[in-house]
Chains A and B, each alone.
Chain A
Amino acid sequence: MLLLCALRANAQEKLNKFYVIDSLSGKAVPSVSVTLVRSKLSINTEKDGIFIIAGNLSAMRDTVILYAQNYRTDKMPIRQLNGRNTIRLTKFVADFKSASTKYNDDTLLNNYRKRDIVHYAGVNTNTAKFEYLQLAQQFFTPKPGTVLKSIKLNRLSFGLDESDYTWTHLVHLDVTKFRIRIYDIDPITPGPGRDLCTKVIEESKSVGSQASINLKKYNITIPNATFFVAVEWMRDFYNAGYSISKDEKGNVNREINYRPAIGISAVTGNRLNIWALNIKREWEPFTYFMPFGTDLAMSATIAY
């Protein structure tokens, strides 16, 4: 159960509790992304599918977006939630052709050196607040019809080794979980479009700076000569921490900051290949590290 406005709530405010359930089965939908667009607040529910919004809903002027993978996105004025306690999300069925051909040649896309990574996206800084739900790396393949076999990415980690007793009490600072999303190109935007994998790919209890994720069992075929791999933040209690930043006047801001932070490749390309899903659930080019940060520290192995 998560409180959407945790930092703003006080004892006198009414707490409005909601259950997000599957419209057919009636079961709780876990890890639903609940976003208040105007307030720029976003959380993920836990397994119980419950979230709380504090305050008088009928007086609020905001839009709420509820999203879960493989469900239709639900978007409405927040006042429409007044008097309700259940929200039903409708599943949609995607039509996918599984890969059956044998592929031999492996190709590594967007390779980088781990030790060169010095910049990370996902932390509120003095210059900008990180207000994105996903970050996606665009890859380009030699030809259409390849198969995505694995990905590797690097994230912010402080090397707090669990086997070293001097760091044991701090190891939890490095632990995180996140999801991986695979997208086709949207022919209009031309950012990330439809999902290329409907299965939930979750990296849980991730420790250490590098995550290597084997995707063979998902049989992900890339229909075009480009695709996107995104990190989806799980904005829940498990990943919740803080960030300290200062504004121009030197005032200190202490805000909730969700792990992980994703590395930026030190190899600078000619074009920007990072896309970000903003609070409105719209994809936009991620320009924060331009011109020196054009790619995430994420590589992909494909076969064809």
Chain B
Amino acid sequence: MLNLSHRNILFVYVICFVPLFCQAQANYDGQVIDKATEDPIPGVNVTLIKERIGTQTNKRGYFELSSEKPLPEDTLQFSFVGYKTFKLPVSQYQSQLFVTLEASNTQLEEVRIDKKRKLKEIVLDQFHTYDLKDVHSQAYSHPTEAVKSQTALAKFFTAPNLNARLLKVSLGRMDLPAAPTYAVRNKFTTFLVHIMSQDSVTHAPGKILLTKTVSLDDNSLWVDIDFTNDKFIIPAKNFYITVEWIINPYNEIIGVHNAPKVAKTTKRGYQVIKDASEYYVWYQPFLIGYNPEDDTRRHALVYSKNGDQWQIFQRGTNELAISATIHY
């Protein structure tokens, strides 16, 4: 199996995919993250150099830039104080790009690492940007899947010690591709994140210890949910992080199938004549399932809720992109 560094992943992203600039209007979006920490960088200036339009990344490092008159020779530029400027020809752009910026001052980076060490932060079930996207080439295949529910999914975690403090929950949120497609792209979603205990008898999710409502209004794949202000201490080593879906119009995503047949009335009664559209509705968010590169890693234990009962959730990939950053 190939060992893909972040830089290699970015290279694969930008080189292997088909350019999209041939449309009358071009939309560019993606997330800008710190190369060392993989934290999103808010406030990055994103500019189309020749067209002279630009925007800034939001708090999730997400940007969206729409070009009314796209120029095939144009270049996307990402610049921010303290980081090396990165330029990307639009011909190499791929939808929902992860752009990794490298700190321009290595001394700053060392300070940051020292700080982390003092805080004793660890990330449980850490995932990386390259886990969140499909990569298919002759030499390497890394499929992902949309993991969704209409109730709740709970992922099992084990902390090194009792009484760890929860700092952050990160999750991968899958987006749907742009047209032509079989589903609408909806960037808006609201859902609940629960921290839950483990039931001592069933070992399934037990009581809800803390709940946070999360609202998203962009298509960022990497979502950080900050718990630092909650000052929440996880009482036991074992716990669950649960995503609960809210079934309401805000979270709707409409897709279409080719339905088998539809009936039409004739003089002899009604009969089946032709195929038709069949709309279906899913509810956001879609989480990301993936296969970690390290095969020795234990597969994620995930439960889904069916009525009042929790049951093991079967899926096609081994891991679910939910991580917990704790301090102990």
Q: A residues within 8 Å of B by Cβ?
A: 1-3, 6-7, 9, 11, 15, 52, 115, 118-120, 123-127, 156, 158-161, 164, 167, 169-170, 172-174, 237, 240-246, 250, 254, 256-257, 259, 261, 288-289, 292-293
Contact = CB atoms under 8 A, between A and B. Distances in A.
B250 interface: yes
A288 B249 CA distance: 7
Contact of A118 (B187, B262, B273, B306): B187
Contacts of B266: 1
A125 B247 CA distance: 10
Task: Name which of A15, A158, A240 has the most chain B CB atoms within 10 A of its CB.
Answer: A158
Nearest to A13: B269
A170 B258 contact: yes
A115 B180 CA distance: 14
Given A123-B281, A241-B276, A1 B267 contact: yes
Contacts of B188: 118, 292
A242 B258 CA distance: 10
Interface of B: 25, 27, 66, 150, 179-188, 247-250, 252, 254, 256-259, 262-267, 269-270, 273-281, 283, 306
B24 to A, nearest CB: 12
Nearest to B27: A115
Say whether chain B's binding surface is mostly helix, strand, loop, or mixed. Answer: strand
B171 to A, nearest CB: 20
A3 B266 CA distance: 9
Contacts of A3: 263, 265, 270
Contacts of B262: 237, 240-242, 256
B249 A158 contact: no
A117 to B, nearest CB: 8
B184 A6 contact: no
Contact of B252 (A119, A173, A246): A119
B265 A2 contact: yes
B180 A167 contact: yes
12 contacts: A3-B265, A3-B270, A118-B188, A119-B249, A156-B184, A158-B179, A237-B262, A237-B273, A241-B259, A242-B277, A243-B279, A244-B279
A288 B250 CA distance: 10
B277 A292 contact: no
Contact of A123 (B183, B187, B259, B279): B279
A126 B180 contact: no
Nearest to A240: B262
Given A126-B150, A126-B247, A159-B180, A6 B185 contact: no
Contact of B249 (A115, A127, A169, A245): A127
Nearest to B66: A115
Given A120-B184, A292-B250, 11 more contacts: A118-B188, A125-B252, A127-B249, A156-B184, A158-B256, A159-B179, A161-B180, A244-B279, A254-B278, A259-B277, A292-B188
